[in-house]
Structures are given as structure tokens and as C-alpha cells.
Chains A and B, each alone.
Chain A
Amino acid sequence: MEWVNAVVQGTLLGGLYALFAAGLSLIFGVMRLVNIAHGDLIVLGAYLGLSVTTLLGLHPIAALIVVVPAMALIGYILQRGILNQTLGKDILPPLLVTFGLSVIIQNALLETYSADPQKMNAGALETASVSIGSLSLGLLPVLTFGIAIVVIASLQWMFYRTSLGRAFRATSDNQEIAQLMGLNRRHIFGLAMALALGVTAIAGIMLGIRTSFDPSIGGGRLIFGFEAVIIGGLGNLWGTLIGGVILGVAQTIGAKIDPGWQLLAGHIAFLVILAVRPNGLFPRINE
């Protein structure tokens, strides 16, 4: 029973990792940009959530109404102002620039909020639980997992069923020909980053309710996100959710064996899958 519990908890944790990963997956899919600052942007989302809850007295979940559009706007400006200029045949400039961005965000957070760990107060949501049979599940992890499913399903729908998604796929296929269709790729990339950071805002707030955070933890979230994306297969959103779940389950099982093994078990699961299936479990068929 304890093992079943570990698997279920790990699965729910995977929902959070899928939220970390979804934005990463989206922007890589649309513009082949590997965003080293992604983890720090998640943390920025958490801090914005913290500010909104303290300034406006909102519940962290309600703060999403402010933080998601704010992060989306930051994403659009960031893309049009800086990142578009780095995109080209050479893959090094975007890596260097997003690495620099990562350092800048960390330092700005440090200046603004200090290095002290912070946490958002979600009241009863943090302790409430639902029992299924003999399992007791925290309401927060269940909610996070549910949000992850809704986010991934919405992104999937947007990508394959809307004109915006069509524009994303066309621009990803062939930027020049997409321009001929009247699509300004700079604007399309801006929209993709806006969407990705909107999702990142959700990830940041769910993270900030679940655990305490400080400006330095972005790197670790980036790694979890990367691992989830790569386990699931690049460019496959549902794969990303499964990747997150595999990572989460590996971590909780590792922790069950020995509390010190939690992170290590996740990385080992990642390496094993990468060794067996270098393209991840469900790579997009077109690649």
C-alpha cells in the first residue's frame, strides 16, 4: 500500500513537472529555441504571485488572473525586444542570451525580494485532502495535476485546431514560406513566448503554493522541465505530461527507498530512458 501511495503521489507530482515543461516544449516546438532562463521565469512567476497576493490580498489561485497576463506580456516583449534578434542559423546566440537572462532574473529577484525563502499562503487548500479508499491525497497536488491536464489539453487543442496553432506549425516548418502567407514570424514568435510564459506563470504559482522558494532554485526547475520534455519526446505535449509523471514517480519511489535518493532516482530514470530511446518515448512523427 505504501508503494501504491508513492506511485500515486509521484504521478500527481508529475503534473507540476509537466507544467514546468509545457512552456519549454512549446517554444522549442515553434522556434527551436532552448530557453535556459525558463526555470528562472518559473520562479519569477512565483514571486509575482507572492507580490500580488500580499499587495492585493488575493488567494494565490485568484492571483493567476493577474500573473498569467502579466507574464504573457513580459514574454511578448522579451521575444520581440531581445530573443528574436538572436534567432538564426547559429544555435549558440539564443543559448548565450537566455543564459545571461537567467543570471539577470536571479539577481533582480535577489535585489527585490532578498535571498530568504518565501512561500505563498493558500490557506485550507494546503492541508485539505481527499481520500480514495485507503489513500489520502492532498487536494493541492490533485488540483495541480488537474490543471496540468487542462493546460496540456488546451495547448494541444490550440496547436492542432485553431488558426493560431496552424500559424505556429507553419512557421515552425518553414519561416520563409510562412512569411509569404502574410505571417510576420517575429509577431508569431512573440505570441508563442507569451503563451509559454502564461503557462509558466501557472507553473510558478503552483510551485510557490506547494513549497518554499528563493531566487536560486530556477536551475533545478529547468532541469526537471527539460527531463520531462525529453522523456516524453520533443514536440509531443501529451508525451510531456507522461514524461513529468515518470520523473515524479521515479522521484517518490527513490525517496521511499532512501530520502536522499529522490533527485538521483529521477535523473537515473531520465538517463535510462534516454539510453534506451534517444528520441524520448513519443517523439513527434514528423521529425
Chain B
Amino acid sequence: MPEPILKLNSLDAFYGDFQALYGVDLEVSEGEVLAIIGANGAGKTTLMRSISGLTQNASDMVKYRGGSIGALRADQVAAQGIALVPEGRQLFPSLSVEENLMIGGQMGRKGPWSLKAVYTLFPILQERRNQQSTSLSGGQQQMVAIGRALMANPDLILFDEISLGLAPIIIKDIYAALPGIIGEGMSALIVEQDITKALSVSSRFYCLQEGRVSLNGASATAAREDISRAYFGVE
């Protein structure tokens, strides 16, 4: 088994006094795609925020490539090659489509992704490149959000509910594009409400329930009953 690129060591996360994650242990290997599933409020977004540095934690709770990054700021984490596609897309409204992509690449990390590569992946964005990002449809905005993260040429990319609020046909397109994205040797963490979808794109999965890992295992052999128990916490 290859070295883990990311390792969470009993990660606790808080919003003020409220504890959202309890002792989460998790490993992502180099090049691996991991799915994170769980009901609303289970702590999936909090997990993404903790890894990306938006929520700061004790330093050694998050290990990345052997270094402790738990206490770093988000910009420092980003510089080390972790990119987040945030829940709800969160494009910059004052920036055009192309500017949103360019600012994703402003750290100048080397790698396969460039404006040209993103436009090849999502040709519609090239047509719309001078438009205000908020004038696009939801699916196109999601493409910009994904492209913006790719522009950083990350080694680890985090997707937080990229299908949220999108039409099924668009979701299908975006998931069809995923292998081409992750195939470049990137590792990925995918948060997804649709369990079938999540299992189909990942090699392993973790299920969160009320801030704790309730189940984890190989995606291909996961039993449905186990998952629904781990997901909803009922027998």
C-alpha cells in the first residue's frame, strides 16, 4: 500500500463551543479517490473545512505528506497543494468566468492544468469566459468552481457536494468528467449525498454520523444494510 498523502489523527473540530467532529481517523493514499457520505449535519463540510484550513485545529490532527498542517491558515494549506471545491460553488461575483479560473491558478503551482486545459474539459466556459460568473447556469457555475480548483494544480482535491442543486443530466455530465480530472494522479475526497454515485467513483468510503466515523471500507463490497445503518444511525 502506498504512503498516505493525507492522514487525520483523531480530529476534533469546533464551532465555538459546539463540537462538530469527534476523533475522526482517516487516510487517503496517493492517487486514491475516497468518498465521504453522511446525512445532513453529519460533519462532512466541517471535515473539508478542517483539511483545507478554513477551520483551524490542533497541528498534528491533520498530516499531509508527513507534515502537520492542522493549524495552518487556508492560504498556507492551499500553497501545499490542497484545493477545495466548496459546497454551494462560491464563485467570486465581481470576477468574470475567466478571472475566477485565473485566480485559482494565481499561486503558480506547476502541473497539467491551465486555462487551456480547463477549456478543453469544459468548452462552454471558453464561450462564456468574459461573462460575470453569476450569470451562468448552476451547472456551468459548478464547472467554474471545479476548474478554479484544478487551476491550482493540486495534489489533493476536495469536492463538497458538487451535485447539490443541479439537474440530473448535468450531474451526469460532471461525474462523467471526473475520471479525466482525477486520472492525472491526483488524490480526491468526494463528499456526496447520493450514495450510489459516491460509491461508484471511489475505491473506499467513510460514513460520518453526528461527527464520528460510523463505517468505512471498500466501496465495491459495501453492503447496503450496513451503510444505511451507519448513515441514519437506526437499525
Chain A contact residues, CB within 8 Å of chain B? 163, 166-167, 169-170, 172-174, 176-185, 286
Footprint of A on B, CB under 8 Å? 52-54, 73-76, 78-79, 83-84, 86, 90, 92-95, 99, 102-104, 106-107, 148, 152
Do A177 and B86 touch across chains, with their CB atoms under 8 A apart?
yes
Q: Assess whether B94 is in contact with A173, with CB atoms less than 8 Å apart.
A: yes
Sample (10) of A-B pairs whose CB atoms are under 8 Å apart? A166-B99, A173-B93, A173-B95, A176-B54, A176-B74, A180-B52, A180-B86, A181-B103, A181-B148, A286-B94
Residue from A163, A167, A182, A185 whose CB has the most chain B CB atoms within 10 Å: A182
CB distance from B55 to the nearest CB of A (A): 10
Known contacts A166-B95, A169-B94, A286-B94: does B54 contact A179 (CB below 8 Å)? Answer: yes
Contact B107 A182 (CB under 8 A): yes
With A182-B106, A184-B73 already in contact, the answer to whether A286 and B93 are too (CB < 8 A) is yes
Collect the chain A residues with CB atoms within 8 Å of residue B103's CB.
163, 166-167, 170, 178, 181, 183
State the Cβ distance, A62 to closest chain B Cβ, in Å.
Answer: 36
Residues A182 and B94 in contact in the complex (CB < 8 Å), given A167-B103, A167-B106: no
Chain B residues lying within 8 Å of A169, measured Cβ to Cβ, are: 92, 94-95
A163-B53 contact given A180-B86, A181-B78, CB 8 Å threshold: no
Please measure, in the bound complex, the distance between the C-alpha atom of A275 and the C-alpha atom of B174, giving whole angstroms: 50
Determine which of A170, A176, A181, A185 lies in contact with B152 in the assembled complex, contact meaning CB atoms within 8 Å: A181
Smallest Cβ distance from B201 to chain A, in angstroms? 23
A173 closest partner in B (C-beta):
B92
Q: Is the CB of B95 within 8 A of A180?
A: no
Contacts of B86 in A (CB 8 A): 177, 180
Given A166-B103, A167-B106, A179–B78 Cβ distance below 8 Å?
A: yes
- Using Cβ atoms and an 8 Å threshold, which residues of chain B touch A173? 92-95
Q: Which residues of B contact A181 (CB under 8 A)?
A: 75, 78, 103-104, 106-107, 148, 152
User: Given the interface contacts A163-B106, A166-B99, A167-B106, does A180 sit within 8 Å of B92 by beta carbon?
Assistant: no
Closest to A163 in B: B106
Q: Which residues of A contact B79 (CB under 8 A)?
A: 182
* Closest B residue, CB atoms, query A285: B132
A181 to B79, CA, bound (A): 8
Given contacts A163-B106, A173-B92, A173-B94, contact A182 B99 (CB under 8 A): no
Which chain A residues lie closer than 8 Å to B106 at the CB level? Answer: 163, 166-167, 181-183
For the complex of A and B, list the 8 residue pairs with the smallest distance between their C-beta atoms, beginning with the closest.
A179-B74, A182-B107, A169-B94, A182-B78, A173-B92, A184-B75, A170-B92, A179-B75
